[in-house]
Amino acid sequence: MDKEQLMQQARSIKQHAYVPYSKFPVGAAFLMTDDRVITGVNVENVSFGATNCAERTAMFTAMAEGYQKGDFKAVAVAGDTEDFLPPCAICRQVMAELCPPDMPIYLTNAKGEISTHTLREILPLAFTDLDM
């Protein structure tokens, strides 16, 4: 699966986001090492701290379905933003725990352009289990 196909899945799933407060839907699609795609959306809550991002929803779904640390191959994140929409710091930290540092991260914007990064690039000096 190429980055455009993965991004299309992220764009498509964001319609299922539950965003009554921010009106800011986000979709994420993780390509797993077995080439299955696991998607997620952001789910808001009136107690804003209970809100969950699309990236974490997808990662937690993958883990609940039996995937393990290291089974994540790439991720596409889609939102309707002028600039490229990166994962938040909490999602980056969860990615640092579950994903390889060289995992491709595809970001898009409202124009449909795709920017490619690695986890290491968007989270330099990550706090990992190696630091424990």
Out of 55, 97, 113, 121, the active site residue is: 55
Ligand-binding site membership of 53 (annotated) = yes
| Average pLDDT, integer, range 38-60 | 96
Ligand-binding site membership of 88 (annotated) = yes
Domains of the chain and any CATH numbers: 3-131 (3.40.140.10)
Confidence of residue 105 (pLDDT cuts 50, 70, 90): very high
Please state the pTM of the whole predicted model: 0.94
Please say if the pLDDT value at position 42 is more than 80: yes
Note the pLDDT of residue 129.
Answer: 77
44 is catalytic: no
What are the pLDDT digits (tens) for 61-100?
A: 999 999 999 999 999 999 999 999 999 999 999 999 999 9
Higher-pLDDT residue of 131, 3: 3
* Secondary structure of the chain as H, E, C letters: CCHHHHHHHHHHHHHHCECCCCCCCEEEEEEECCCCEEEEECECCCCHHHCECHHHHHHHHHHHCCCCCCCEEEEEEEECCCCCCCCCHHHHHHHHHHCCCCCEEEEECCCCCEEEEEHHHHCCCCCCHHHC
Note the pLDDT of residue 132.
Answer: 66
Average predicted confidence (pLDDT) for the chain: 96
